[in-house]
């Protein structure tokens, strides 16, 4: 009852600091009760607040899936693209308009099954993209099918007798492919997650954060892992913070230890720096800095 009283004390005109960052005219959102995606969005907003980002210069790109809907709720230039292709869309956006902070916000199925090839190539190029992957270990939007992240022995609607395919270790994959920054948190680690997000906003190059997040409706329920709260308890109990841990030792299992922390933070020249230095080396003064924005009719007339 004390919880209830607490809620009642909030005045009607109370201001939620998250509001200016969200498209409040689109609320309520579509995510289930106990889903962790909203928690990650809160962390994202907190990171934007703390880093005093100019929201006019932040663009968010999502693919398809539950996490793919984040772009639709973010009050900034936001792109809900096709399944798996958030990263190549973001690549074009960033190259055409390098002053943008381009964040890719999508799910594990979107980024690592259908979009896996794009992920490794963007990491290889060290494209200046900030990739946040909400990993709920399942295809949730389509009703609970196996993902390349579903751990062995878990059951899904397409693996009713248990998953036997080995799963991707996303942080190890990201590091091997060349990411400049790699971290993993769970939706229990809200402070750490927000801080990691803040860090990647300041870092140049391809940055990757994996966030373990419960899907109570499909993954938890089917695997008898309880509700969202049970997931938090599990995350709290099973997580070990080990900054700098070798990512190869950080694979996830169905109910084993979850190694979290910042694993990789290295400086490599990003794609645009590499492009520029190669062109200057080959072309010297003939190289023309990219001027990508096409002109506006009115602007041209007034000149």
Q: Give the DSSP H or E segment for 182.
A: strand 181-186
Does the protein bind other proteins through residue 262 (CB under 8 A)?
no
The phi, psi pair for 280, rounded to 5°, reads -65, -40
Q: Determine if 56 is a binding residue for other proteins (CB under 8 A).
A: yes
Q: Two tokens at 249?
A: 């030792």
β-strand pairing of 181-186 with 258-265 = antiparallel
Smaller CB separation from other proteins, 153 or 268: 268
Instruction: Work out how close the CB of 60 gets to other proteins at its nearest, in angstroms, rounded to a whole number.
Output: 10
Q: Does 142 bind other proteins (CB under 8 A)?
A: no
Q: Determine contact, residues 173/118, Cβ cutoff 8 Å.
A: no
123 binds other proteins (CB under 8 A): no
124 and 87 Cβ atoms separated by less than 8 Å: no
The count of C-alpha atoms lying within 13 angstroms of the C-alpha of 158, restricted to the half-sphere facing its C-beta, is 12
Please report whether residue 117 would count as binding other proteins according to CB under 8 A.
yes
Of 76-84, 145-153, 179-187, 252-260: span binding other proteins (CB under 8 A): 76-84
If binding is defined by CB under 8 A, does position 29 make contact with other proteins? Answer: no
The size of the chain, in residues, is: 303
Backbone angles phi, psi at 102, to 5 degrees: -105, 120
- Binding piece for other proteins, criterion CB under 8 A, among 10-18, 116-124, 182-190, 233-241: 116-124
Name which position in 2, 14, 297, 302 contacts other proteins (CB under 8 A).
297
Interface with other proteins includes 88 (CB under 8 A)? Answer: yes
Q: Is 189 in the site for other proteins (CB under 8 A)?
A: no
Distances (CA, A) of 252 to 172, 173, 260, 285: 11, 13, 10, 51
Phi-psi map region of 74: left, alpha, beta (phi>0 left; psi -120 to 50 alpha): beta
- Reading the block at residue 5, the tokens are 């009283």
Size of the site for other proteins (CB under 8 A): 54
State yes or no: residue 95 binds other proteins (CB under 8 A).
yes
Query: Which of the stretches 21-29, 139-147, 178-186, 218-226 binds other proteins when contact is defined by CB under 8 A?
Result: 21-29
Residue selected from 36, 37, 94, 144 as contacting other proteins according to rule CB under 8 A: 94
Q: How far is CA 125 from the centre of its chain?
A: 18
What does the block give as tokens for 106? Answer: 């999508």
Examine residue 46 and tell whether it contacts other proteins (CB under 8 A).
Answer: no
If one asks whether residue 97 binds other proteins (CB under 8 A), the answer comes out as yes
- Which of 32, 53, 245, 275 touches other proteins (CB under 8 A)? 275
Alpha helices (H) in 128-243, listed in sequence order: 170-177, 190-202, 221-222, 228-238
DSSP for residue 91: H
Regarding 178 and contact with other proteins (CB under 8 A), the answer is no
Decide whether 94 or 262 has the Cβ nearer to other proteins: 94
Taking CB under 8 A as the criterion, the residue among 1, 6, 27, 292 binding other proteins is 292
Name residue, tokens 């709920």: 136
Which residues contribute to the site for other proteins (CB under 8 A)? 23, 25-26, 55-57, 59, 61, 71-72, 75-82, 84-85, 87-97, 99-100, 117-118, 121, 275, 279, 283, 286-298, 300-301
């Amino acid at each position: 009852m004390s919880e209830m009283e607490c809620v009642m004390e909030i005045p009607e005109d109370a201001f939620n600091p998250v509001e200016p960052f969200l498209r409040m005219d689109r609320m309520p959102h579509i995510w289930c009760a106990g889903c962790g995606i909203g928690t990650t969005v809160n962390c994202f907003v907190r990171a934007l607040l703390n880093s005093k980002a100019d929201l006019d210069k932040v663009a968010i790109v999502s693919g398809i899936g539950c996490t793919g809907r984040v772009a639709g709720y973010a009050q900034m230039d936001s792109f809900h693209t096709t399944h798996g292709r958030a990263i190549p869309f973001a690549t074009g956006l960033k190259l055409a308009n390098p002053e943008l902070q381009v964040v890719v916000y999508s799910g594990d199925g979107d980024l690592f099954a259908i979009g896996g090839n794009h992920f490794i190539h963007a990491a290889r190029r060290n494209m200046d993209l900030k990739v946040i992957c909400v990993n709920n270990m399942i295809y949730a939007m389509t009703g609970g099918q196996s993902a390349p992240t579903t751990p062995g022995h878990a059951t899904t609607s397409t693996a009713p007798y248990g998953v036997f395919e080995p799963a991707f270790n996303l942080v190890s994959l990201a590091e091997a492919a060349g990411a400049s920054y790699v971290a993993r948190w769970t939706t229990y680690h809200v402070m750490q997650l927000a801080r990691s997000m803040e860090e990647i906003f300041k870092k140049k190059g391809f940055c990757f954060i994996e966030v373990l997040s419960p899907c109570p409706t499909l993954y938890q329920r089917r695997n008898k892992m309880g509700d969202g709260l049970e997931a938090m308890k599990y995350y709290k109990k099973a997580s070990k913070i080990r900054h700098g841990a070798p990512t190869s030792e950080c694979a996830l299992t169905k109910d084993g230890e979850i190694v979290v922390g910042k694993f990789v933070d290295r400086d490599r020249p990003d794609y645009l720096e590499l492009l520029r230095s190669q062109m200057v080396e080959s072309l010297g003064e003939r190289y023309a800095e990219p001027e990508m924005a096409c002109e506006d009719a009115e602007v041209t007339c007034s000149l």
